[in-house]
Structure 1
Amino acid sequence: MSKPKNVLWIMADQLRFDYLSCYGHPHLHTPNIDRLAARGVRFTNAYVQSPICGPSRMSSYTGRYTRSHGATWNGFPLRVGEPTLGDHLREIGVRPVIVGKTHMVADTKGMEWLGIDPGSTIGISISECGFEPYERDDGMHPYGPYDPDPAYNRALQEAGVEGDNPWEEHANSAAGDDGERLSGWLLKYANLPADVPEELSETPYMTRRAMQFMEEAGDAPWLCHLSFIKPHWPYIVPAPYHDMYGPEHILPPVRAEAEKVTDHPVFRAFIESRICRSFARDEVRERVIPAYMGLIKQIDDQMGVLLGWMEERGLFETTMIVFTSDHGDYLGDHWMGEKDLFHEPSVKVPLIVYDPRPEADDTRGTVRSELVEAIDLAPTFLSYFGGPAKPHILEGRGLEPLLHNRAKPAEWRQYAVSEYDYATRPARQAIGNAQEEARLVMLRDGRWKYVHAEGFRPMLFDLQTDPDELHDLGASRAPEHAAVRARMMVALGRWSRRHHNRITLSPEQIEAMTGKEPPGILIGFWDEAEYEAEFGKPFAERP
């Protein structure tokens, strides 16, 4: 390849894996995303490291589990000094850029303690999760905690969209018959068109900004993280997408009456919360799901614009393209709304990887069922750019063996792990447990999904006989289920005991230190003869 190699990493927020036609949705046709899958590899068992925006993204951006980087829920800052993908790429001359959302909260206290100016080059990098902010946009303007200076709001105003906060007043609201604002925060208005021209809504706007970056980027290699805010709530979409889908396109909810009488305190606390009680109502699903589908259809149409533009400029020859999500959306399945827990609609995501290198030619259009994790992308990107492996920092596994058809099943991971800290959630208030106990860990192997709930019995699902996860076997007295729970608990303990904070020295450096004392230190020698016998020189000539 004569030109520099680049990466376009596309992430849609809160996109379910099964709401794309290439993943089997019968009504929502996404031909442009499907076309990317036909040129790359589509993964069917890709799991995020936490089923909530902030910690999931911090894991993707660091290549580390949430227990390792510590930003375990939304609004928890990523501590100063936590290495990010952007840091690793800058070391090898790659420009890491963000266009869109990160959900990053800067560790301002840590920067103050270290005397780092937040406006300096290093301060901006720390504040933006290692990315260069070509355009940071997390929504919730202008008072959101994630990007207090929203360029998108200014762009709307410059285009003639009125109001102090056109993001909420127009892009995420509808107009009533008398011009009144009907807020997209209210689910009853999800069937109305957002009061903004389609080309000015968030998804087309961010797509154009990514193309502008690629146009201006020059010859140096880059990674562009195009991070769409949608189909994340507010569930409202501009015309013509607002009425493309109707009740006949809504799939029946995946849920069972038995789930409503669960004896598990955590699951019960969530399904009894206001959000979940709302999304369990049919009238809510009938308003929200068509809008959710319209938002996804708009993303697919913009993917067509983007991929066509890249093809015209020959960027497919030099650019790895990844399409994924940070988590899913229950949409009423299992009597739940939003995300939070570990059922497949929440914790499993779409993952499509197009690798332009000839080594990937044999896998184009293929489907892989191995267990992969979101943290696998960081080492994949680092390797793609020719960077050194960093297994002491990056806890994911590079996907090249799967992309290039080199991996054998026995060599790949046996378990996928996801974590959730619900210390700040109403569920903990309902349960009454302590902050440090409000923790869930999912372990999923080829058949079983095990959820450790600190202080309570585990949850267990047999994905082979119960793929919809309707029957919790965590309290089953059957010997075979008890054996699975014991095995999974042992595996979880083994995972939790692995080194995760020994990141300042590489394995090679540690190996070079092995069996040696620091220079000038001699411990345990009896006399000069013993020293000479070990080192082959007189004691007087020691360094």
Structure 2
Amino acid sequence: MKKYNIILITTDQQRYDTVGELAPDYMRMPHTQYLINQGISYTNANAQCPLCVPARISIMNGKFPQTTGSTTNCETTDVMGTRNTLPDLMRQAGYQTIAIGKMHFGPQRAKHGFDEMIIPDDYYRQMQRSGSLIQPMHHGMGQNEIYPALSTVPEPMTLTSWISEQCVEYIRDRRDPSQPFFMWCSYSKPHPPFDPPEPYYSMYRGEEIADPVFGDWSDDEHAPLAFKRLRQMWGYDKISPKIIKEAKAAYYGLLTQIDYNMGRIFSALQDFDMLKDTIILFTSDHGEYLGDHHTAAKFFLHQASTHVPFILRLPPSMGHKLGGTKQDIPVTHADILPTLVNLAGGTVPEDVDGQDLMAVLEGKEKPRQYVEMVSQMGMLESIGITDGEFKYMWYLEDQCEQLFDLINDPQELKNLAGLEAYKGVQEELKQALIESEQTKKLNYVKDGKLTTIEPLNDDERHRRANPWPGYHTEYCDIDVKH
């Protein structure tokens, strides 16, 4: 069996509607479009737990967050170890393995089966030791603020550019050319702060950027308690429409910068005549509300947060005719391990939850019927399930239920829960969620019913509504451009 090089490219916090025909017409994403034209686009890809670490654990071990119990930004050693992880299985299949970029492992230097790791800490240490008077992140913006800011370093000195340069150097100089390689290139953007360098900072500021969308359930009168609490805690309800549009322009700029840098990696592969023999899988760990439904960030289970791009580009030398095709089957991050390991000629452990997408495509496996989702950040708990047509959600604190028609209402503007016409669909999805969760670690079912949690007391509610000053609470209507 021929051994193809394999590259997994991930972004952090990229919405599904920023690629292909769903992206705004003015967005420039030629290298992402190249992958779409040559690959299989999975249009129903879901982040089962829309948070950085749980998504990466699923990528590494092929298991659902509900199976491992990993639903927060926790340490990863006990969950993943070093055996039968994605890179370890690749090594067993004869591949050299390297991780470049944001892994978000804990401890950070835990290799979890990789031969080599190059992480953002190396970049920041290099920048500090350079003695340069200009340093990244000196604009003072926080890691969860969506206010736009200009990067304090030029494009070649940004982390995005540095990650790409490390990938290019590996392809050109540092790999063993007698062995195939598996590379995970993990960009830390467009996760906040939204601070692209020029020309990307200004690239979309003059465009007619669409307003956020607001569901009939998303105002303070109708929103779930946990949903309202997040925007109160982090001040998302104080951001003006003008700032939201500028934030979206910066967000799109970060994505175009990533796209440009992906082109550098593709060019390096082409220089060594390797592009035609390289499998590339592109996805993101979760999405970003970006002002939709009066909030930002991720955590909850609406499409803006859970629906991610997912493109599998098989090399032309495999002789397939799948370029430019679409698949609407439900897929998750857990599918990455069995899919790539089988493409590498390796052996997939029997206890993984994920599916080999090639086996599904070839009719050897049936696609899953449902994808379950969970959000478990403190008091922001909710669980959900989707069959690709409808999505059902349950909020533990106030027993709020939501049901959305994803085919006719993909932006989830109308909550159908409780409507007589959709009673059957709601009950079917709810029972499927109950039956599945009974076998999982998270204890969301008791006596055949979905569980609840005690509401916050008055003191705790006041504290959450009045966080300490300076933590994502103050947004000024000025242009932070240094």
Question: In structure 1, what is the Cα distance between the partners aligned to 2:146 and 2:383?
Answer: 36
Q: Which residue of 2 aligns with 1:343?
A: 302
Secondary structure of 1:248's aligned partner: coil
- 2:123 maps to 1:152: yes
Contact 1:247–1:286 (8 Å) recurs in 2: no
Q: Which residue of 1 aligns with 2:430?
A: 489
Q: Which residue of 2 aligns with 1:223?
A: 182
- 2:370 maps to 1:415: yes
Percent of aligned positions with the same letter in both sequences? 27
Q: After the TM superposition, which residues 232-311 of structure 1 pair with which residues of structure 2 at under 5 Å, given as runs?
A: 232-246=191-205, 248-256=207-215, 258-260=217-219, 261-262=221-222, 264-279=224-239, 281-311=240-270
Secondary structure of 2:287's aligned partner: coil
Question: In structure 1, what is the Cα distance between the partners aligned to 2:144 and 2:85?
Answer: 37
Contact 1:32–1:304 (8 Å) recurs in 2: yes
Question: In structure 2, what is the Cα distance between the partners aligned to 1:104 and 1:483?
Answer: 42
Secondary structure of 1:419's aligned partner: strand
Q: 1:398 aligns with which of 350, 356, 374?
A: 356
Q: Which residue of 1 aligns with 2:171?
A: 214
Structure whose residues are more often helix by fraction: 1
Higher relative contact order (CA 8 A, sep 6+): 2
RMSD value, Cα: 2.7
Q: After the TM superposition, which residues 119-518 of structure 1 pair with which residues of structure 2 at under 5 Å, given as runs?
A: 127-137=110-120, 150-157=121-128, 159-162=130-133, 170-173=135-138, 182-185=139-142, 192-215=149-172, 216-218=174-176, 219-246=178-205, 248-256=207-215, 258-260=217-219, 261-262=221-222, 264-279=224-239, 281-356=240-315, 361-392=320-351, 394-401=352-359, 405-407=361-363, 411-423=366-378, 428=379, 439-454=381-396, 456-474=399-417, 476-478=418-420, 480-498=421-439
What's the CA shift string for 1:489-527, capped at 9, x where partnerless?
2212332345889xxxxxxxxxxxxxxxxxxxxxxxxxx
What's the CA shift string for 1:107-166, capped at 9, x where partnerless?
9xxxxxxxxxxxxxxxx6xx23433443022xxxxxxxxxxxx2112332455523xxx6
AA of the residue aligned to 1:451: M
Secondary structure of 1:79's aligned partner: helix
Question: In structure 1, what is the Cα distance between the partners aligned to 2:390 and 2:328?
Answer: 15
Using a 3 Å threshold, how does the CA distance of structure 1 residues 314 and 351 change in structure 2: closer, same or farther?
same
What's the CA shift string for 1:346-379, capped at 9, x where partnerless?
1011111111265562111112211111110110
Question: In structure 2, what is the Cα distance between the partners aligned to 1:186 and 1:230?
Answer: 11
AA of the residue aligned to 2:94: G
TM-score, L = length of structure 1: 0.74
What's the CA shift string for 1:301-329, capped at 9, x where partnerless?
11122112211212223221111111111
What's the CA shift string for 1:247-290, capped at 9, x where partnerless?
534211111465202153333333443343145x3132133111
Which runs of at least 4 in structure 1 moved beyond 6 Å after TM superposition? 186-189
Contact 1:187–1:287 (8 Å) recurs in 2: no
Deviation of 1:214 after TM superposition, in Å, equals: 2.3
Secondary structure of 1:349's aligned partner: coil
Q: Structure 1: any 5+ residue segments left out of the alignment?
A: 108-123, 138-149, 174-181, 429-437, 502-543
- Equivalenced residue count is 436
Question: In structure 2, what is the Cα distance between the partners aligned to 1:453 and 1:151?
Answer: 40
Question: In structure 2, what is the Cα distance between the partners aligned to 1:368 and 1:336?
Answer: 30
Using a 3 Å threshold, how does the CA distance of structure 1 residues 171 and 384 change in structure 2: closer, same or farther?
same
Question: In structure 1, what is the Cα distance between the partners aligned to 2:382 and 2:216?
Answer: 24
What's the CA shift string for 1:447-491, capped at 9, x where partnerless?
1101133351432112233222112223x141x422222211221
Question: In structure 1, what is the Cα distance between the partners aligned to 2:426 and 2:230?
Answer: 23
Deviation of 1:14 after TM superposition, in Å, equals: 0.8
AA of the residue aligned to 1:347: T
Secondary structure of 2:156's aligned partner: helix
Deviation of 1:13 after TM superposition, in Å, equals: 0.7
Secondary structure of 2:16's aligned partner: coil
Question: In structure 1, what is the Cα distance between the partners aligned to 2:244 and 2:232?
Answer: 17
Question: In structure 1, what is the Cα distance between the partners aligned to 2:258 and 2:339?
Answer: 25
Deviation of 1:26 after TM superposition, in Å, equals: 1.7
Question: In structure 1, what is the Cα distance between the partners aligned to 2:102 and 2:209?
Answer: 28
Question: In structure 2, what is the Cα distance between the partners aligned to 1:323 and 1:201?
Answer: 21
Contact 2:289–2:296 (8 Å) recurs in 1: yes
Q: Which residue of 2 aligns with 1:518?
A: none
Question: In structure 2, what is the Cα distance between the partners aligned to 1:264 and 1:193?
Answer: 35
AA of the residue aligned to 1:156: M
Deviation of 1:300 after TM superposition, in Å, equals: 0.9
TM-score, L = length of structure 2: 0.83
Question: In structure 1, what is the Cα distance between the partners aligned to 2:264 and 2:96?
Answer: 24
Deviation of 1:440 after TM superposition, in Å, equals: 2.1
Q: Which residue of 2 aligns with 1:84?
A: 85
Contact 1:134–1:213 (8 Å) recurs in 2: no
Deviation of 1:397 after TM superposition, in Å, equals: 0.5
Contact 1:46–1:348 (8 Å) recurs in 2: yes
What's the CA shift string for 1:175-197, capped at 9, x where partnerless?
xxxxxxx3233999955532212
Contact 2:45–2:308 (8 Å) recurs in 1: yes
Using a 3 Å threshold, how does the CA distance of structure 1 residues 186 and 352 change in structure 2: closer, same or farther?
closer
Deviation of 1:77 after TM superposition, in Å, equals: 3.9
Question: In structure 2, what is the Cα distance between the partners aligned to 1:450 and 1:291?
Answer: 32
Deviates more, 1:264-273 or 1:370-379: 264-273
Question: In structure 2, what is the Cα distance between the partners aligned to 1:74 and 1:328?
Answer: 16
Using a 3 Å threshold, how does the CA distance of structure 1 residues 197 and 234 change in structure 2: closer, same or farther?
same
